[in-house]
């Protein structure tokens, strides 16, 4: 595996990979890798792509400076994991490489970008759009792989790619979970032992949502989630919504032909965890 830190060197290596035939697959990450990230690398390689991964903790998508400062970093371990997974190239740029000057671009996603994560993390998706477009321009991949745990982010990136006419296929990959159901996340490393024991309740609630859909009104499901999470002494609900899968519009009535996801954000102490499930009707 080749480690690269500049866009110029990256593009030279990608040109070399293309000359050997095959397509370029891209796995963007912020490091602190886990099995969820590695499943994206695996999906890329299974497609037969040359796998290019990036590790870059993007400052413009953090609306909380403490969150940025505390974000887990372990680049040496990350590189070892990527190499063992069969990744061909890892791009690890500096902040100066990606932002030689301030990025003042503004991206508008309408209602899709103003609900859930967009509502509770102002500016987050603008920062995401800034960095993914920079990375897409640098890598010029044929396919890019994203996890479905960041459900809203995946929907917004698909919209961004379509609106900007990138010749790029966005591949959404399934959530990878711990044995107790907790969605794998780099932030899980920050959980205390007590909060880690409590965190699987989030997925248990989402599973209960599935069992209640069609048997009781959406408002009762929302009330159940709020009371279950907030009655736990170590957990605090930030939001829970059942939304249309393609538009992210919140629904108050279940319509069988309308594809839906249940989305949730919960604080376990000071650590913010998100999750979602598809609603099977």
d(CA 54, CA 1): 13
In 20-167, which ranges are continuous DSSP H helix?
35-46, 65-70, 75-85, 95-98, 117-120, 124-139, 151-163
SS3 at position 79:
helix
Query: Is 37 annotated as catalytic?
Result: yes
Per the CB < 8 A criterion, the answer to whether 127 and 62 are in contact is yes
Q: What secondary structure letter does DSSP report for 60?
A: G
C-alpha closest to that of 213 among 175, 173, 262, 246: 262
d(CA 263, CA 183): 13
DSSP character string of 247-268: T--B-SS--TTS-EEEEEEEEE
Catalytic residue among 34, 37, 88, 124: 37
Residues designated as active site: 37
């Amino acid at each position: 595996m080749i480690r690269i830190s500049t866009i110029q060197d990256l593009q030279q290596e990608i040109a070399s990979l293309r000359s050997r035939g095959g397509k370029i697959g891209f796995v963007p990450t912020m490091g602190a890798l886990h099995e969820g990230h590695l499943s994206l690398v695996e999906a890329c390689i299974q497609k037969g792509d040359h796998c290019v991964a990036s590790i870059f903790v993007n400052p413009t998508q953090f609306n909380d400076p403490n969150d940025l400062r505390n974000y887990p970093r372990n680049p040496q371990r990350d590189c070892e994991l990527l190499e063992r997974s069969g990744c061909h190239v890892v791009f690890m740029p500096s902040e100066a490489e990606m932002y030689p000057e301030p990025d003042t671009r503004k991206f508008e996603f309408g209602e899709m970008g103003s609900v859930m994560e967009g509502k509770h993390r102002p500016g987050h998706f603008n920062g995401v759009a800034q960095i993914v477009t920079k990375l897409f321009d640098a890598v010029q991949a044929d396919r890019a792989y994203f996890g479905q745990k960041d459900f809203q982010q995946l929907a917004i990136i698909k919209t961004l790619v379509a609106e900007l006419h990138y010749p790029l296929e966005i591949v959404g990959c399934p959530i990878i979970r711990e044995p107790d159901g907790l969605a794998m996340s780099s932030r899980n490393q920050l959980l205390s032992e007590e909060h880690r024991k409590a965190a699987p309740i989030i997925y248990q609630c989402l599973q209960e949502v599935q069992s209640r859909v069609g048997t009781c009104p959406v408002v009762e499901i929302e009330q159940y989630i709020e009371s279950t999470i907030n009655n736990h002494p170590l957990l605090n609900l930030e939001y829970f919504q059942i939304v249309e899968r393609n538009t992210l519009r919140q629904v108050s009535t279940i319509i069988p032909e309308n594809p839906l996801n249940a989305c949730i954000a919960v604080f376990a102490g000071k650590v913010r965890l998100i999750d979602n499930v598809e609603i099977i009707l």
